[in-house]
Chains A and B, each alone.
Chain A
């Protein structure tokens, strides 16, 4: 049997102020996976990541990184992890090259090798031209990429990305995902938390949704998305007819003079909808999902979890 990249067993955390951030979380991530860890703000994601990276002391339970306990063999476990935290946490007065070389040094990597790696990852993340400028001069997106380069210095087997694209423009976000997808394809296990659910949907194969310190869903992305039985489409139309067609299994709503919303079962075909609209003289100029599919599921699961808890 393959040793999991991450095996979390009944992990608990109660902060000094009495807040129970994790209420016994268990989770397994297989090697080579691209795993999404999603949840609303304050759900416990960052606490979980904090415990895994030894920045937060657990109140109970254990976690193993490739079979190595973070409590019993902390140093060995930390060698296997690379962390890209949510907040900027490098010395802004240092240069990106030095930040990367020093990080390698903290992992016991010799200076010559560290310098080679720093050059490699700064180039791959398109930061090489800024390598010898003070880090405070970098833009927000560059700072995020620098934290990824820094996390790669020990060439971890498990890379944890805690909302790495927060506040980053779409172009840089895409280049970041290209890089992370590349290292995942090369064998690095990736755990991602993000509020951009379309990213999680596109990139991740497995998913766990955490809310109020508990895992409310843990499955493959494919099977999770297949549970979504109703979808809502927004249709941009040239003109509105006097009355809308009636179709079994489809609810049509007029939003404004040029927009119709269609809520329909996933099993319902779109051709009949277009045919019905066309017979009423409606020309559809464009169409999009009202919300990201994962986003819809996410909201439902979290709301359902809270109703159950209440």
Chain B
């Protein structure tokens, strides 16, 4: 393990340098978007909605919006960065090296999680300008952030491996990730939904991530917290296996 720390650190460092080099693309847009969400949904519409699970609407949606930022930015970071490396062929720098596949995967995932966490922190700081927040369960908050970001980093990696052109890495966020996020209880409690929508919502993995984080911050959740963590862990293990299999087979990378 120790002899893999340098290659792992190199990938993570390169990813963080990339995030910082293009900070106007990686950090500022999500901050602006989330500020607009807070103003429109939290302040303007939220003031007419009233309380939800004992919290103001603004307080209720903050964890969901933070998690939404973390998920979309982790996914977007790894899919664009790894596909960019494929497209520019500099992924070959890693493929010809002695690095094992798991180091490549872990390096890119860590880079993506770092971006998710930075953006999440930025959004949280912006939220504090609109409402008061007290973190109910710090450990659960941190774990749900890391697991949620990891799940979508891995999913973004799989997307990047299969992508043949830049359009392919925009398809999944547009047609899968965004709808699932909006239907994942970011803006509402699924308890408000009637059947069959409530049952359908329960198969949406984002629902579990949003609620795990909401439980960590506010102490309330629509789903059992243990179930939420089991769902996230299952996705981490499953997607890691898929990612490693793709790297071992060289799908989209080796002829």
Q: List residues of chain B with CB within 8 A of the CB of A55.
A: 92, 95-96, 254-255
Q: List residues of chain A with CB within 8 A of the CB of B11.
A: 106
Q: Which residue of B lies closest to A108 (CB)?
A: B6
B93 touches A108 (CB 8 A): no
Mind listing 19 A-B residue pairs with CB under 8 Å? A15-B255, A54-B96, A55-B255, A57-B255, A76-B98, A79-B98, A89-B90, A89-B93, A102-B13, A102-B93, A105-B6, A105-B9, A105-B10, A106-B7, A106-B10, A106-B94, A108-B4, A108-B6, A111-B6
The 8 A CB mask of A74-96 against B (1 = contact, 0 = none) is 11101101010101111111000
B96 touches A91 (CB 8 A): no
A91-B85 contact, Cβ under 8 Å, with A54-B96, A55-B95: yes
Please, how many angstroms separate the alpha-carbon atoms of A54 and B98 in the complex? 10
Judge if A107 is at the interface, Cβ distance under 8 Å.
Answer: yes
Please, how many angstroms separate the alpha-carbon atoms of A111 and B6 in the complex? 8
The 10 closest A-B pairs by CB, nearest first: A105-B10, A106-B97, A89-B89, A75-B98, A78-B98, A56-B255, A91-B90, A53-B96, A108-B6, A79-B98
Q: List residues of chain B with CB within 8 A of the CB of A108.
A: 3-4, 6-7, 98
Q: Which residue of B lies closest to A110 (CB)?
A: B6
Q: List residues of chain B with CB within 8 A of the CB of A79.
A: 98
A91 touches B88 (CB 8 A): yes
Q: A93-B21, A107-B7, A108-B7 are in contact. List 17 more A-B contacts (CB 8 A).
A: A54-B95, A55-B96, A57-B254, A57-B255, A74-B98, A76-B98, A81-B96, A89-B89, A91-B88, A98-B17, A102-B14, A105-B13, A106-B7, A106-B97, A106-B99, A108-B3, A109-B6
Judge if A26 is at the interface, Cβ distance under 8 Å.
Answer: no
Judge if B100 is at the interface, Cβ distance under 8 Å.
Answer: yes
Judge if B250 is at the interface, Cβ distance under 8 Å.
Answer: yes
The 8 A CB mask of B5-23 against A (1 = contact, 0 = none) is 0110111011001000100
Q: Which residue of B lies closest to A13 (CB)?
A: B255
Q: List residues of chain B with CB within 8 A of the CB of A181.
A: none
The 8 A CB mask of A38-58 against B (1 = contact, 0 = none) is 000000000100100111110
Within 8 A of A (CB), among B221-255: 250, 254-255
The 8 A CB mask of B50-88 against A (1 = contact, 0 = none) is 000000000000000000000000000000000001001
Q: List residues of chain B with CB within 8 A of the CB of A15.
A: 255
Q: Which residue of A lies closest to B90 (CB)?
A: A91
Q: List residues of chain B with CB within 8 A of the CB of A88.
A: 89
Please, how many angstroms separate the alpha-carbon atoms of A204 and B250 in the complex? 34
Chain B contacts to A: CB under 8 angstroms = 3-4, 6-7, 9-11, 13-14, 17, 21, 85, 88-90, 92-100, 250, 254-255
Number of A residues near B (Cβ < 8 Å) is 34
Q: Which residue of A lies closest to B85 (CB)?
A: A91
Please, how many angstroms separate the alpha-carbon atoms of A53 and B250 in the complex? 13
B97 touches A107 (CB 8 A): yes
Judge if A103 is at the interface, Cβ distance under 8 Å.
Answer: yes
Q: Which residue of B lies closest to A103 (CB)?
A: B93
Please, how many angstroms separate the alpha-carbon atoms of A108 and B255 in the complex? 26
Instruction: Give, as a whole number of angstroms, the nearest-CB distance from A159 to chain B.
Output: 12
Instruction: Give, as a whole number of angstroms, the nearest-CB distance from A161 to chain B.
Output: 14
Determine which residue in B17, B92, B93, B96 has the highest number of CB atoms from chain A within 10 A of its CB, and name it. B96
Q: List residues of chain A with CB within 8 A of the CB of B95.
A: 54-55
Instruction: Give, as a whole number of angstroms, the nearest-CB distance from A154 to chain B.
Output: 8
Please, how many angstroms separate the alpha-carbon atoms of A121 and B76 in the complex? 36
Q: List residues of chain A with CB within 8 A of the CB of B99.
A: 75, 106
Q: List residues of chain A with CB within 8 A of the CB of B94.
A: 106
Please, how many angstroms separate the alpha-carbon atoms of A93 and B14 in the complex? 12
A50-B255 contact, Cβ under 8 Å, with A89-B89, A89-B92, A89-B93: yes
Instruction: Give, as a whole number of angstroms, the nearest-CB distance from B248 to chain A.
Output: 10
Please, how many angstroms separate the alpha-carbon atoms of A108 and B8 in the complex? 9
B96 touches A78 (CB 8 A): yes
Q: Which residue of A lies closest to B22 (CB)?
A: A93
Please, how many angstroms separate the alpha-carbon atoms of A90 and B91 in the complex? 8
Please, how many angstroms separate the alpha-carbon atoms of A172 and B89 in the complex? 24
Q: List residues of chain B with CB within 8 A of the CB of A83.
A: 96
Please, how many angstroms separate the alpha-carbon atoms of A98 and B62 in the complex? 39
Please, how many angstroms separate the alpha-carbon atoms of A176 and B95 in the complex? 25
Instruction: Give, as a whole number of angstroms, the nearest-CB distance from B187 to chain A.
Output: 37
Q: Which residue of B lies closest to A107 (CB)?
A: B97
Q: List residues of chain A with CB within 8 A of the CB of B90.
A: 89-91
